[in-house]
Amino acid sequence: MILSDKTLWDMLEHNTLAISPLTPEQVQPASVDIRLGTTFSVVEDSPEGIITMDKEIHYKTIQTDTYMLLPNQFVLATTMETIALPDDLTAFVEGRSSLGRMGLFIQNAGWVDPGFRGEITLELYNANRCAIELRAGRRIGQLVFARMDQPALYPYAGKYQGQKGATGSRVFLDTELIP
């Protein structure tokens, strides 16, 4: 079930859901607006000219209030907000229609597991022919929350727990489930 603003306010007031910083204007009828933070990370060039899933990927991290996202460029960014989800709540990261109409994609892995704590890393891509100026503090997307039928048996405790800033891929830490 998707949570309403009334339920979200109740959870925030009782500290069963944590989002910080948060202004009242961010709480929408069925979502919470998230804002762009000041950390951006771009993949550094690899000597081999490729990146693989079994080796650590190196990133150049930039702290700035304004980032110019060039056409067909990909960058990791972070939210201003830090969140903490209870064990029976999940969230979906969704883009804003107004930004999508500019050619800005804000995520391609928009699932937040129950029990997650940290800042959300966004995967930004400019599909436009023009550069897009990104400014910290601007609304960049929305979190839509859904309550599970019961608390997770094993809440999230993975490699991105507690992340801060635009956190690069840690896929090289995965243990594959190959038979």
Q: How far is CA 35 from CA 14, 20, 26, 44, 135, in A?
A: 23, 11, 9, 25, 9
Residue 123 designated active-site: yes
Task: List Cβ neighbours of 156 (8 Å cut-off, separation of 6 or more).
Answer: 85, 113, 114, 115, 116
- R_g (Cα) of the chain, nearest Å: 17
Catalytic site residue from 13, 25, 81, 123: 123
For residue 10, report the phi and psi dihedrals to the nearest 5 degrees: -60, -45
Task: List Cβ neighbours of 79 (8 Å cut-off, separation of 6 or more).
Answer: 34, 35, 36, 37, 119, 120, 122, 140
Residues marked active site are found at: 123
